[in-house]
Structure 1
Amino acid sequence: MSDYTPIGQEGTFLDHVGGIEWRVEPDAVSSRLTVRSQHVNPNGTVHGGLILTLLDFTLGAEVERSIGEGQQGHPITIQLSSSMIGAAGLGETIVGSARVTARTKTMSFVSGEITCGDRVLASATAVFRNPRIA
């Protein structure tokens, strides 16, 4: 099992969000983020928009990993449905996981969740447009 590393998207929206790391294994992708002051809402818990951003990143990264080599571009989110279940506070680490449930030539169907320790914070299903294969 490898360590988490920064996602390396300098100058992008995800870089502006800050703190997202990921780990790519042969059979799965996971992401994590330690909640900082810029990630919380007025209630002092992680903002729902941040949870959705981490879900979108994680689910798309899993689609990309599962397709493998030879892609031109990245998966494009077509649809994302989520349920917010719990909250995390400042200093807690949240983790995203995903799995592809089905794929056609042009679309991938994926599900995933964000957790904090043993608590589920959100779950989601999504449809992504597959990148072209060279």
Structure 2
Amino acid sequence: MSDYVSIGQEGTFLDHIGGIEWSAAPDAIGIRLTVRSAHVNPNGTVHGGLILTLLDFTLGAEVERSLGAGQQGHPITIQLSSSMIGAASLGETLLGSARVTARTKTMSFVAGEITCDGRLIASAAAVFRNPRTA
């Protein structure tokens, strides 16, 4: 994966979470987040809601990348199914990856995961409504 950069999105929900970075290669999107104190639950591990948000963002970004230029708007999450498998703690780095598994004219089907130091933290499968073409 190439260099990671901030996702930007100043003033949005993702900006409020803070620290999310992404890397776009011609054939894949990757996300990265180093866990800060604002990201953990009372157990000291990453909050499940943050994991779901990272999965949704990662899968949607991969759909958008795979569709290429000429889209008006962004993919819209229709359905997201996930499994929480592991945990990550303060200071650890989460990595997200995804792949489109099928597509119709209006929908994209995608699967992905969040890992940390080679451990599987969560996996997901989703359906996104494709944005309109220009």
Q: Which residue of 2 aligns with 1:79?
A: 79
In the alignment, does 2:127 pair up with 1:108? no
Please report the RMSD computed on the Cα atoms of aligned residues, expressed in angstroms. 0.5
Q: Which residue of 2 aligns with 1:126?
A: 126
Q: Give the counterpart letter for 1:76 in structure 2.
A: I
5+ unaligned residues in a row in structure 1: which ranges?
none
Equivalent positions of 1:28-43 (< 5 A) are 28-43=28-43
Q: How much has 1:23 moved relative to structure 2?
A: 0.2
> Residues 55-93 of structure 1, C-alpha deviation per residue, up to 9 Å, x if partnerless?
000000000000000000000000000000000000000
Equivalent positions of 1:38-57 (< 5 A) are 38-57=38-57
Runs of at least 4 residues off by over 6 Å: none
Q: Which residue of 2 aligns with 1:59?
A: 59
Q: Which residue of 2 aligns with 1:88?
A: 88
5+ unaligned residues in a row in structure 2: which ranges?
none
In the alignment, does 2:12 pair up with 1:12? yes
Following the alignment from structure 1 to structure 2, what is the Cα–Cα distance between the partners of residues 118 and 57?
20
Q: Give the counterpart letter for 2:88 in structure 1.
A: A
Following the alignment from structure 2 to structure 1, what is the Cα–Cα distance between the partners of residues 87 and 2?
27
SS of aligned partner of 1:89 = coil
> Residues 102-124 of structure 1, C-alpha deviation per residue, up to 9 Å, x if partnerless?
00000000000000011000000
Following the alignment from structure 2 to structure 1, what is the Cα–Cα distance between the partners of residues 78 and 96?
19
- Count of residue pairs the alignment pairs up: 134
Following the alignment from structure 2 to structure 1, what is the Cα–Cα distance between the partners of residues 103 and 54?
22
Q: How much has 1:30 moved relative to structure 2?
A: 0.5
Q: Percent of aligned positions with the same letter in both sequences?
A: 84
Q: Which residue of 1 aligns with 2:23?
A: 23
Q: Give the counterpart letter for 1:131 in structure 2.
A: P
